[in-house]
Amino acid sequence: MCEHEHDQTHHHHHEKSPLLKIILSIIIFTAVMIIQPSEPVKFIVFLAAYLIAGGDIVLKALKNIFKGKVFDENFLMSIATIGAFGIKEYPEAVMVMILYQLGEYFQDKAVEKSRASISALMDIRPDYANIEQGEEIVKVSPEKIKIGDVILVKTGEKIPLDGIIIDGKASIDTSALTGESIPREVKCGDKAISGCINTNGILRIKVEKEFGDSTVSKILELVEHAGNKKAKTENFITRFAKIYTPLVVLGALLLAMIPPLLTGTSFWIWFERALTFLVISCPCALVISVPLGFFAGIGGASKAGVLIKGSCYLEALSKPYAIAFDKTGTLTKGSFEVQNVCAREGVTNDEVLTNAAICETYSSHPIALSIKKATGKKLADDTTLNIVEISGKGIKANYHNSVILTGNHKLMEQFSIDCEIVDEPGTVVYVAKNEKYLGYIIIADQVKEDSANAISKLKRLNIKTVMLTGDNNTSAIAINNQLGLDKIYSELLPSDKVDKVEELLKEKPEGKTIIFVGDGINDAPVLTRSDVGIAMGALGSDAAIEAADVVIMDDKPSKIPTAIEIARKTLVIVKQNIIFAIGIKVIFLILGAIGLMTMWGAVFADVGVTFIAVLNSLRALNIKNKTL
């Protein structure tokens, strides 16, 4: 989808503020206009004001000519104003430069606002990490911390590296990563994500990733390189500017030479019109506001906790035909919970759970953890418990002279335990004790709280929704009964998911895109194959985040329609700028060519249109999402 050219078409960045020289030029200009000295003095003073206001522009134009970059706005402004001096229009030449520099100043301030907004948002780079050396706490560079080291994070400090909390509990501010203002409570055993701020308490964290692989590093890298992948609209503007500028210079030359020959009118009249024509023709509004619009849109999405890796993906995100979702960890939490316990007659639910938990005492499997969590108590000790794992079937445990079996139906068959076959959504765990069937436990993944809301919003946006999952059909149908997607495919291998996305790519109308949303390492191939791959970032695997084009930082599916709305509105703003800039330019060029536009008006046309377009682009930083 994206063209990966990295050339930059245009820069309007000034190393020093031109405000001081603008003020000085205005003072000199005003003094001359009031005093009205003799012609030689007027020329010298106006020339001084001109050089103060626009000397750097003329110098840039000369440097660019030697670099082979002739047709830029510096060249156009220089040739037009030097020509104005040539026909003794000194005030116009000076005021052109003053107004141009004033427009540039306000324009740079607008660009700085956009960059400052994103820089403040991404101010998550940690300055140091605390490690304990004896009884002292020492601050060291995060780059020096190794996997397995234990770091200390105090109140008010940023978490510098990803890891597991091994001691303490705290409330952490995740707003820089997720856009969510509500703090999250964390405790021993929870994951700690770098870039978050500890708002109270003290945490000891065992580091799981070196700084270069940490969440904060990956995010900063994404933001720094987001401008490298240009949208088709941006590439159109680049090509347009390269063709447009030489054409208008040629047009100005023809305007200066042909009408005097054909009509016999004064050459100087048409020469002045040609100079005005050049000033009007400067394509600043297009080449500045369009990239800035995309940049601001990426910044606006970042504020909402959505990281977009480039403007080409922002553009593709604005026109989806269908969105295909992985199930586990994307639409569901990826954490299993006991849904139901069904004991046979004469047995209590607590007995079923307790005996299952005994078998799972030493297991860290998600299903085992969910059973142990449901019992809420310690059940066995090393001296009386002997566990044997039966591959692919379950666990046999000898505990206090009793034999307990916990597993699937095949385990029951192996030990000739008579029980019913249960066909319910989720994972069925059968439990038996001393050759007697006790009952079964239903364990299932939980649908995320906002998944149904996200699907509903996408349908309102007329986007087709599809679920691709490796789970069995019964579980897939049960999840879809809660969500209402348009289509589901179950029992898929990673390669099958790629095939389904390929089918959607063939089915989509021209100009539309296919989006895939996933979080697991097995989703990397299909994330890459889709037009836009979205990874659920906070809990997603590194491979998925690396392969994706968009990262949802807080794992909320509802951020997907938010991102689409931001992308669509950004494209509307960019198109507004293109239509406005070209439309006004055409009108003013015609007026300049027929003599109805002065040099002063030409500057207002150039600087004014640019400034309005830039301000319009900045609206993308604060887009409100109507689908929320």
Active-site option among 72, 326, 523, 555: 326
Residue type at position 499: D
83-89-90-91 Cα dihedral, nearest 10 degrees = -130
CB 438 within 8 A of CB 343: yes
Asked, for residue 365, whether it belongs to a domain, the answer is: yes
pLDDT at 628: 42
Q: Would residue 531 show up in a list of annotated catalytic residues for this protein?
A: no
Contact 166, 150 (CB under 8 A): yes
**Measured distance CA(532)–CA(517) in Å, rounded:** 9
- In this prediction, residue 505 carries a pLDDT of 94
> Domain range holding 406?
334-446
The number of beta carbons lying within 10 Å of the beta carbon of residue 597 is 22
User: Which residues in 309-435 belong to E strands, given as ranges?
Assistant: 320-326, 332-343, 385-390, 394-399, 402-407, 427-433
H-type alpha helices, 304-388 = 311-317, 349-359, 366-375
Question: Does residue 377 fall inside a structural domain?
Answer: yes
pLDDT at 380: 55
Phi and psi, residue 152, nearest 5°: -115, 130
Residue 547's nearest CA partner among 534, 559, 558 is 534
The token pair that represents 355 in the structure block: 């005996």
Dihedral pair phi/psi, residue 214, rounded to 5°: -75, 165
Label the pairing between strands 203-207 and 436-447.
Answer: unpaired
Among the listed residues 244, 102, 237, the one whose alpha carbon sits nearest the alpha carbon of residue 603: 102
Burial label, 24 (beta-carbon count in 10 A; 0-12, 13-18, 19+)? middle
Backbone angles phi, psi at 16, to 5 degrees: -120, 150
What's the sign of the alpha-carbon dihedral 301, 304, 308, 314?
negative
CA distance 351 to 436: 13
Does residue 421 sit within a domain?
A: yes
199 part of a folded domain: no
Phi then psi for residue 401, to 5 deg, are 65, 20
Strand partners, 488: 467
| 415 vs 368: CA distance, rounded Å | 21
Mean pLDDT for back-to-back runs of 10 residues, the chain (628 residues)? 43 56 90 88 92 89 82 74 80 81 72 58 71 85 90 90 90 68 78 84 90 71 54 64 77 90 86 81 72 83 84 92 90 84 92 91 79 78 77 86 90 92 84 94 87 95 92 82 93 84 94 88 78 76 70 88 93 90 86 81 74 83 58
Tell me, yes or no, whether 240 lies in a domain: no
| Partners of 427 in beta bridges | 443
Into how many domains does the chain fold?
1
> Residue 409: which residues within 8 A CB-CB, separation 6 or more?
419, 421, 428, 430
Q: Across the beta sheet with 550-552, what order do the strands follow?
A: 306-308, 550-552, 532-536, 513-518, 320-326, 464-468, 487-489
Q: What is the pLDDT of residue 490?
A: 86
Longest dimension (CA), the chain: 119
User: Would you state the structure tokens that stand for residue 272, as one six-digit string?
Assistant: 């002045």
420 within domain boundaries: yes
Residue 383 lies in a domain: yes
Half-sphere exposure for 355 (CA within 13 Å, toward CB): 29
Are 440 and 351 a contacting pair, CB within 8 Å?
no
CATH number of the domain bearing residue 383: 3.40.1110.10
User: What are the C-alpha distances in Å from 130 to residues 78, 148, 191, 220?
Assistant: 56, 14, 18, 22
Q: What are phi and psi of 299, to 5 degrees?
A: -65, -40
For 267-294, what is each residue's pLDDT tens digit? 888 888 888 887 777 766 776 777 778 8
Give the integer Cα–Cα distance in Å for 317 and 562.
11
Q: For residue 342, give the 3-state DSSP assignment.
A: strand
Please give the radius of gyration of the chain, using alpha carbons only, rounded to the nearest integer: 33
37 located within any domain:
no
* Other Cβ atoms within 10 Å of 188 Cβ, number: 12
Question: Residue 328 and residue 539: Cα distance in Å, rounded?
Answer: 12
Q: Which amino acid is at 517?
A: V
At residue 466's C-alpha, the angle toward residues 340 and 317, to 5°, is 125
378 vs 361: CA distance, rounded Å: 9
| Number of DSSP helices (H) and strands (E) in the chain, helices first | 21, 22
